[in-house]
């Protein structure tokens, strides 16, 4: 990675909604940004296009769900397809990052902050996307 800071957008892919987070290599930390609607795994591309247009990320990161033993999962294959679609539509580099336990961690953190526990009416997918992005920063930024 070069020395100039870059903006990175992270995604927590899901069948009904996709969490989005934003960060940069200067701070090395992702922040929850938005939740994009999806229908049977097909995202509302206009929402994603608007976010990418507004934030102008240099790089995209998608969480790849793996089974606990590290093997591929059906959702992992769908997330990989989503990452290829992002690359094709927006011509930006995309990395896949192991997202095992990020949703569980996001739920734990939100409960600690007093979340009501109803993730249907008060989703935390954007927080999971921030955790995915933080994993990418840990893997790609020198300490």
Residues 20 and 34: beta-carbon distance below 8 Å: yes
Domains in the chain, number: 1
**Residue that is written with structure tokens 């100039």 in the block:** 4
pLDDT for position 73: 81
Instruction: Please answer whether residues 52 and 10 qualify as being in contact, where contact means their C-beta atoms are separated by less than 8 angstroms.
Output: no
The enclosing H or E element of 32 equals strand 31-39
Does the residue 74 lie in any domain?
yes
Instruction: Give the domain CATH number at 100.
Output: 3.30.420.140
Residues of the chain with pLDDT under 70: 1-2, 100-123, 142-143
Q: Which residue has the tokens 């935390």?
A: 124
Say how far apart CA 37 and CA 54 lie, in whole Å.
18
Per the domain annotation, does 79 fall within a domain?
yes
Return the structure tokens found at 136: 């990418």
Which pLDDT belongs to residue 117?
54
Tell me if 2 is assigned to some domain.
Answer: no
Residue 137 is predicted with a pLDDT of 94
Q: Can you give the pTM of this predicted structure?
A: 0.84
**What residue has token string 């930390």?**
29
Q: Which residues contact 82 (CB under 8 A, 6 or more apart)?
A: 11, 13, 18, 41, 43, 62
**Residue 1 located in a structural domain:** no
pLDDT of residue 3: 74
- Domain membership of residue 121 (yes or no) is yes
* Domain that residue 91 falls in: 7-140
């Amino acid at each position: 990675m070069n020395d100039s800071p870059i903006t990175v957008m992270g995604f927590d892919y899901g069948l009904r909604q996709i969490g989005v987070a934003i960060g940069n290599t200067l701070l090395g930390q992702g922040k929850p940004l938005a939740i994009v609607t999806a229908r049977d795994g097909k995202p509302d591309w206009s929402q994603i296009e608007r976010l990418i247009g507004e934030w102008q990320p240099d790089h995209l990161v998608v969480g790849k769900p793996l089974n606990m033993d590290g093997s591929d999962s059906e959702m992992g294959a769908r997330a990989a397809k989503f990452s290829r679609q992002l690359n094709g539509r927006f011509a930006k580099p995309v990395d896949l990052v192991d997202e095992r336990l990020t949703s569980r961690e996001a739920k734990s953190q939100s409960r600690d902050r007093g979340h009501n526990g109803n993730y249907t009416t008060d989703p935390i997918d954007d927080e999971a996307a921030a955790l995915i992005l933080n994993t990418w920063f840990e893997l790609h930024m020198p300490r």
